[in-house]
């Protein structure tokens, strides 16, 4: 049987470069990036072999960006979640955030909580947005939660993570070949695919062709076939 890409994770890179190449502001690139989020999520929801899609929307390091860009991204996230609430419900898509949400504004946290609760029963796809997320931060928070309870095990630490789900297929758009602190633990045995396509231009056709290649890979998980 071929591999099934049950959990797909994407580092959505290249919004800024895409916009600048058109003589537009970086924020316009993020705006268009949000449209790609909608299209890729809808595609994954329509494919029953895909259960979970985790998207790197804002990292613990992204606060280093200019204030104007950070503020725009916060507003865009809030606007996206509000305007897409119906799309989540129509597509039977469960929304789950991962990351340390405590730093966000009350209004953004309220919208996150509202969409999470409203879609808790949905079961065609989990769309997980990584928000103020960093793999190292996630592991440290999980270890702190557990350290007073005794010895850590792979299982106990895994279960204490924001995302206790191994990634099957990890894609990075935008041409770079690095993980940038995304799902460091969960990607231990992920198949990694890198594409030069900038995120606003990443299409469902390209995702489909990556999935096709993924299905032909022999995954051994350190063993022998
Ligand atoms: C990386 O592109 C992208 C981000 C840091 C933010 C990701 C945000 C979106 C895809 C849009 C909003 C998301 C949602 C869920 C509504 P970059 O800015 O680093 O691009 P560059 O490498 O070309 O500068």
Q: For the segment 31-52, what is each residue's pLDDT rounded down to a tens digit?
A: 999 999 999 999 999 999 999 9
Question: Measuring from atom 13 of ligand 1, which residue has the nearest CA?
Answer: 34
Question: Measuring from atom 6 of ligand 1, which residue has the nearest CA?
Answer: 57
Evaluate whether 125 touches 44 at the Cβ level (below 8 Å): yes
pLDDT band at 1 (very low <50, low <70, confident <90, very high): low
Question: Measuring from atom 8 of ligand 1, which residue has the nearest CA?
Answer: 57
pLDDT given for residue 222 in this prediction: 84
Residue 3 has pLDDT above 80, yes or no: yes
Which position among 3, 62, 100, 137 bears the catalytic label? 62
Q: What distance in Å separates the CA atoms of residue 24 and residue 30, rounded to the nearest whole number?
A: 11
Per-residue tokens: 198: 């900038």
In sequence order, what are the beta bridge partners of 96?
A: 128
**Of 11, 53, 57, best ligand 1 pocket probe by most atoms within 8 Å of the beta carbon:** 57
Average pLDDT over residues 157-169: 97
Total Cβ atoms within 10 A of residue 134: 21
Residue 2 has pLDDT above 80, yes or no: no
Euclidean distance between the first and final Cα of the chain, in Å?
13
**Average pLDDT, rounded, for the chain:** 96
pLDDT given for residue 38 in this prediction: 97
Dmax (CA) of the chain: 56
In sequence order, what are the beta bridge partners of 93?
A: 125
Average pLDDT over residues 89-101: 97
Asked whether 17 lines ligand 1 (CB < 6 A), one says yes
Distance from the alpha carbon of residue 57 to the mean position of ligand 1, in angstroms: 6
Average pLDDT over residues 69-96: 97
Question: Measuring from atom 22 of ligand 1, which residue has the nearest CA?
Answer: 14
pTM beyond 0.85: yes
Q: For the segment 115-162, what is each residue's pLDDT rounded down to a tens digit?
A: 999 999 999 999 999 999 999 999 999 999 998 878 899 999 999 999
Asked whether 7 lines ligand 1 (CB < 6 A), one says no
Average pLDDT over residues 8-25: 97
Task: For residue 13, indicate whether it is catalytic.
Answer: yes
Task: For residue 162, indicate whether it is catalytic.
Answer: no
Q: For the segment 170-215, what is each residue's pLDDT rounded down to a tens digit?
A: 999 999 999 999 999 999 999 999 999 999 999 999 999 999 999 9
Per-residue tokens: 61: 């390091």
The beta-strand segments (E) located in 29-168 are 52-59, 93-98, 125-133
Residue 13 has pLDDT above 90, yes or no: yes
The structural domains of the chain, ordered by start, are: 7-144+184-197 (3.40.1180.10)
């Amino acid at each position: 049987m071929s591999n099934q890409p049950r959990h797909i994770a994407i580092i959505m890179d290249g919004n800024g470069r895409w916009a600048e190449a058109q003589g537009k502001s970086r924020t316009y690139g993020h705006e268009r990036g949000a449209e790609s989020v909608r299209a890729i999520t809808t595609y994954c929801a329509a494919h029953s072999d895909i259960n979970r899609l985790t998207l790197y929307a804002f990292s613990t390091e992204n606060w280093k960006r200019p204030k104007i860009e950070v503020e725009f991204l916060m507003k865009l996230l809030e606007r996206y979640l509000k305007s897409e609430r119906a799309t989540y419900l129509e597509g039977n898509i469960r929304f789950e955030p991962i990351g340390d949400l405590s730093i966000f504004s009350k209004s953004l946290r309220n919208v996150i909580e509202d969409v999470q609760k409203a879609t808790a029963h949905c079961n065609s796809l989990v769309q997980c947005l990584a928000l103020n997320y960093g793999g190292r931060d996630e592991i440290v928070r999980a270890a702190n939660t557990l350290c007073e309870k005794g010895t850590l095990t792979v299982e106990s630490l895994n279960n204490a993570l924001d995302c206790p789900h191994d990634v099957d297929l990890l894609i990075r758009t935008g041409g770079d070949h690095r993980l940038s602190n995304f799902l460091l633990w969960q990607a231990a045995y992920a198949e990694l695919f890198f594409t030069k396509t900038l995120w606003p231009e990443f299409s469902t056709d390209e995702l489909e062709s990556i999935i096709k290649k993924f299905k032909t890979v022999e995954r051994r998980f350190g063993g022998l076939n």
